[in-house]
């Protein structure tokens, strides 16, 4: 069963020159963790805001949990929850107050809300600071408070817009654990992120979007496999020009160094050449990060050439 | 959302956005008290107590106006800074319940000041009927200024501007017009301008109830205040942006 279906979804902001979403088609299965990957301004938040009934599309349709997000927004709002991007805690509420506010404003009874608030605070390891003024908490703790406000709601589908932004690796994994737990309870999670490792570790399926268009979609494995001829990456530290490396595979520039995305034989040939030149290289399998940079970088270059 | 859930929702918004902050940080209350009671004190001292009734009518008008307009600042903050409104929109909470909850939460901050002012007005010898009519005027003025707060919050590009705009409008509505003084002391050419301002009508009605005599015909005052309330509610309903386009 589909949790979300978008058809030709387009959004052009009044002051925008380019569409934020450009005829986007998308399908998301129920009970999955689905990730949207993209650069800043790629259209991820716009998509989430339309699907979560906060923003009207310019054209196209989006059906969430079988309900039209435009025409049946009221019914849909009973079944969704969102942790928005860059949300801030409210002074002088404590983490417990925030979670209780999130639950009780949805009409939950006091006792049930108190029980779920305790669970949410435990889930996000906020129990020790549950009754501390949120203003005194670190940025990472505040971010977890925002996530805690939605994880124990009775929503069937939860949107999380960059829920781990600004969190250290340990805290990111705490949030990941909760998203995995939520998935086990049958909920659908739709999140946006910049972190490729997050998408790779969590997602049942994902989409890479750029300038409002879908660049790649599928499971993390299938998206990586979409660049089947580029299963291996070779980081080249010295002794090669970009033009020379083009003979071994697709070259991208990472922090001023060249990375060649290639297949096993290309990597072998480049390795032999590096030995002959006494050059430093490092060979490893491609990651989602490489695929992202490859796909988005390619689109950027096409855009530059076209304009 | 059924009726019981709706009431729980309204209570939660009021409790966590109004009552809890007031208990945790009583400075919020002091902020509401500060300007109206300062002006009341200045009038009281400068007039050797004779202008106290005008001060009371003015303070009641100003606090009610502040409480309404602060709603706009709160809404701008919840929308633009905390992003709390995004969470509310994508939830079963209706726009009306959210607005009403935020407005009532603001009223909670002002409740102690309003209680003190009603006590002082009663101490001036106002009858029960006069106090009830004052309460009615407070409610009408609160709805009008709350709607005005909503209206401006929809245009505020950021929380700083919302704060500045609402502070400016509070002064324009409750210090400059005949709120702490009688409309009769204005030069005649300014009177028509003053009587179209809802705070002038409200203060005149308070002044009458306290026993200073009505400087504007009470029926006209109530009528004008009701009309202002209706117009502002209408303006808000057209301008309200729950789902953005």
B92 contact A CB<8A: yes
Nearest to B25 among A87, A92, A104 (CB): A92
Say which residue, A5 or A196, is predicted with more confidence. A5
Whether pLDDT at A307 is above 50:
no
Say which residue, A301 or A87, is predicted with more confidence. A87
Whether pLDDT at A88 is above 50:
yes
Which ipTM did the prediction report? 0.86
Q: Residue B98: how many CB atoms within 10 A of its CB? A: 23
pLDDT attached to residue A253:
82
Residue A51: list chain B partners with CB under 8 A: none
pLDDT attached to residue B232:
86
Given an 8 Å threshold on Cβ–Cβ distance, is B84 in contact with A90? yes
pLDDT attached to residue A137:
93
Split at pLDDT 50, 70, 90, the class of A306 is very low
CA distance B197 to chain A (A): 34
Residue B243: list chain A partners with CB under 8 A: 53-56, 73
B245 contact A CB<8A: yes
Residue A85: list chain B partners with CB under 8 A: 83
- Summarize the confidence of residues A215-235 as an average pLDDT: 82
B172 contact A CB<8A: no
Nearest to B86 among A54, A89, A104 (CB): A54
Residue B76: list chain A partners with CB under 8 A: none
Best residue of A97, A105, A146, A154 to probe chain B, by most B CBs closer than 10 Å: A105
Given an 8 Å threshold on Cβ–Cβ distance, is B4 in contact with A133? no
Show which of residues 80-109 on chain A sit within 8 Å of chain B, judged by CB atoms. 80-93, 97, 100-102, 104-109
Output the six-digit token pair for B170.
């509070």
pLDDT tens, residue by residue, A234-253: 999 888 888 899 999 888 88
- Summarize the confidence of residues A198-208 as an average pLDDT: 91
pLDDT attached to residue B218:
85
Nearest to A106 among B9, B83, B89 (CB): B9
- Summarize the confidence of residues A29-50 as an average pLDDT: 93
Whether pLDDT at A294 is above 80:
no
How many whole angstroms separate alpha carbon B55 and alpha carbon B43?
6
Nearest to A73 among B6, B20, B243 (CB): B243
B106 pairs with which residues across the strands?
Answer: none
B3 contact A CB<8A: no
pLDDT attached to residue A302:
56
How many whole angstroms separate alpha carbon B113 and alpha carbon A117?
34
Give me the percent of chain A exceeding a pLDDT of 90.
63
Q: Residue A169: how many CB atoms within 10 A of its CB? A: 9
pLDDT attached to residue A238:
84
pLDDT tens, residue by residue, A148-180: 999 999 999 999 999 998 888 888 888 999 999
How many whole angstroms separate alpha carbon A91 and alpha carbon A103?
18
Nearest to A54 among B2, B81, B90 (CB): B90
Whether pLDDT at A303 is above 60:
no
B158 contact A CB<8A: no
DSSP for A157-196, please give it.
EEEEESTTTT--HHHHHHHHHHHHHHHHTT-EEEEEES-H
Whether pLDDT at A122 is above 90:
yes
pLDDT attached to residue A300:
61
Nearest to B83 among A81, A84, A100 (CB): A84
B136 pairs with which residues across the strands?
Answer: none
Alpha-helical regions (H) of chain B: 3-14, 20-24, 27-46, 52-76, 84-89, 95-123, 128-155, 159-174, 191-195, 198-210, 218-239
Residues of chain B under the 70 pLDDT cut: none
pLDDT attached to residue A229:
66
Q: Residue B158: how many CB atoms within 10 A of its CB? A: 12
How many whole angstroms separate alpha carbon B228 and alpha carbon B143?
10
Output the six-digit token pair for A278.
């006494």
């Amino acid at each position: 069963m589909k949790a979300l279906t978008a058809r030709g979804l387009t959004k052009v902001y009044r002051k925008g020159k380019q569409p934020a979403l450009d005829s986007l088609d998308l399908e998301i299965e129920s009970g999955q963790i689905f990730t949207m990957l993209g650069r800043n301004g790629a259209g991820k938040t716009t998509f989430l805001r339309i699907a979560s009934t906060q923003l009207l599309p310019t054209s196209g349709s989006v059906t969430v949990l079988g309900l039209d997000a435009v025409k049946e927004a009221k019914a849909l709002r009973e079944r969704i929850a969102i942790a928005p991007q860059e949300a801030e805690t409210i002074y002088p509420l404590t983490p417990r107050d925030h979670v209780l506010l999130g639950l009780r404003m949805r009409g939950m009874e006091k006792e049930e809300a108190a029980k779920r608030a305790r669970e949410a605070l435990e889930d996000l390891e906020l129990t020790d600071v549950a009754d501390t003024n949120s203003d005194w908490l670190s940025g990472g703790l505040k971010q977890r408070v925002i996530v805690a406000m939605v994880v124990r709601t009775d929503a069937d589908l939860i949107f999380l817009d960059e829920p781990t932004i600004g969190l250290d690796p340990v805290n990111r994994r705490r949030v990941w654990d909760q998203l995995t737990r939520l998935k086990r309870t049958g909920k659908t999670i739709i999140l946006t992120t910049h972190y490729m490792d997050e998408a790779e570790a969590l997602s049942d399926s994902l989409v890479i979007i750029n300038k409002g268009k879908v660049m790649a979609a599928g499971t993390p494995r299938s998206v990586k496999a979409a660049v089947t001829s580029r299963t291996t990456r070779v980081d080249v530290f010295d002794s090669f020009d970009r033009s020379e490396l083009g003979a071994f595979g697709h070259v991208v520039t990472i922090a001023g160094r060249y990375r060649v995305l290639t297949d096993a034989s290309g990597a072998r040939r480049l390795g032999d050449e590096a030995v002959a030149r006494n050059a430093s290289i490092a060979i490893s399998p491609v990651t989602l990060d490489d695929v992202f940079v490859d796909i988005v970088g390619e689109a950027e270059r096409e855009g530059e050439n076209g304009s | 959302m059924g009726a019981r859930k709706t009431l729980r929702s309204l209570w939660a918004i009021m409790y966590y956005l109004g009552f809890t902050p007031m208990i945790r940080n009583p400075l919020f209350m002091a902020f509401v008290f500060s300007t109206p009671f300062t002006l009341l004190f200045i009038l009281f001292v400068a007039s050797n107590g004779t202008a106290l009734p005008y001060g009371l009518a003015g303070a009641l008008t100003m606090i009610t106006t502040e409480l309404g307009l602060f709603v706009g600042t709160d809404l701008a903050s919840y929308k633009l800074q905390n992003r709390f409104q995004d969470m509310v929109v994508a939830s079963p909470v209706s726009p009306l319940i959210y607005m009403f909850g935020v407005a009532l939460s603001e009223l909670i901050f002002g409740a102690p000041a309003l209680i003190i002012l009603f006590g002082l007005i009663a101490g001036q010898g106002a009858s029960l009927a006069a106090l009830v009519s004052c309460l009615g005027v407070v409610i009408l003025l609160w709805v009008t200024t709350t709607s005005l707060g909503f209206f401006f919050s929809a245009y505020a590009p950021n929380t700083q501007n919302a704060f500045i705009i609402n502070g400016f409008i509070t002064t324009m509505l409750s210090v400059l017009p005949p709120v702490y003084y009688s409309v009769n002391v204005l030069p005649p050419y300014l009177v028509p301008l003053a009587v179209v301002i809802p705070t002038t009508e409200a203060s005149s009605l308070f002044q009458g109830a306290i026993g200073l005599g009505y400087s504007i015909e009470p029926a006209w005052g109530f009528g004008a205040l009701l009309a202002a309330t209706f117009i502002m509610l209408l303006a808000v309903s057209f301008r309200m942006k729950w789902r953005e386009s």
